[in-house]
């Protein structure tokens, strides 16, 4: 199954599935690393059913949620409504439907390992940040659990942190730091091919 079709299919169950894969501690780490402040505007890229967006709303931020799955955006609209602090945009991480220098923070949780070109997506995320704005990507460290590719349509088998740091620097971001979230992503194979436990990193960069 192709990735877009996979996420359209699992959208109604995503929030429950997500609870089995990783916990709220992941978004808490992302918010701590970014130093989020209420009243600011954030973009949530590959927003899914709104895991990161929900946390940002609780902290008093406004959110532009971007996803390429119409079904995921429909889930978010059901959860958060259409007249509040969330704006929904269908779009691709590698060509974001946002203007240059338009948001204070960009978050992308578990999206990077699904995009075709991670460096191109990071360049786009950096483009939409205001000067002084911060990008935080939380994603998987390099792993060798092939069933995440075949069963969950992952495009990349995680990342080497030095590559991520280089892509941040090439996108013009400064003060790049990559830290452990201290949480794992856990998944069991449907075909009984084993279970994956993969560590999660949080990468931070600031637009000068
Ligand atoms: C693993 S889910 C994570 C969802 C959410 N961030 C969370 O933490 O629960 C990945 C999401 O990224 C979206 N996605 C994958 N590739 C994308 C792309 N190239 N552009 C935009 N969204 C994408 C999928 O539709 C899906 O909703």
**Could you report the per-residue pLDDT of 189-204, keeping only the tens digit for each?**
877 777 888 899 999 9
115 Cβ below 6 A of ligand 1: yes
46 Cβ below 6 A of ligand 1: yes
pLDDT at residue 1 above 80?
no
* CA gap 186, 208 in Å, rounded: 36
**Whose alpha carbon is nearest atom 14 of ligand 1?**
46
Token pair, residue 25, equals 């501690």
107 Cβ below 6 A of ligand 1: no
Minimum-distance ligand 1 atom for the alpha carbon of 72: 27
What is this structure's pTM?
A: 0.96
Q: Which residues contact 53 (CB under 8 A, 6 or more apart)?
A: 44, 47, 63, 65, 76, 80, 86
pLDDT single digits (tens) 23-52 = 999 999 999 999 999 999 999 999 999 999
């Amino acid at each position: 199954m192709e990735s877009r079709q996979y996420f359209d299919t699992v959208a109604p169950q995503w929030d429950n599935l997500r609870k089995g894969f990783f916990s709220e501690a992941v978004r808490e780490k992302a918010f701590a690393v970014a130093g989020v402040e209420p009243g600011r505007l954030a973009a949530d890229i590959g927003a899914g059913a709104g895991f990161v967006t929900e946390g940002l709303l609780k902290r008093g931020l406004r959110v532009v949620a971007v996803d390429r799955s119409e079904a995921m955006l429909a889930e978010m609209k059901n959860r958060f409504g259409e007249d509040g602090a969330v704006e929904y945009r269908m779009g691709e991480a590698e060509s974001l439907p946002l203007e240059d220098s338009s948001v204070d923070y960009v978050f992308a949780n578990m999206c990077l390992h699904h995009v075709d070109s991670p460096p191109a997506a990071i360049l786009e995320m950096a483009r939409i940040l205001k000067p002084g704005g911060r990008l935080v990507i939380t994603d998987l460290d390099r792993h060798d659990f092939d069933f995440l590719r075949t069963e969950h349509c992952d495009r990349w088998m995680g990342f080497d942190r030095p590559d991520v740091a280089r892509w941040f620097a090439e996108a013009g971001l400064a003060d790049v730091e990559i830290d452990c979230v201290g949480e794992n992503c856990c998944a069991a194979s449907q075909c009984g091919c084993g279970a994956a436990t993969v560590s999660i990193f949080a990468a931070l960069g600031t637009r000068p």
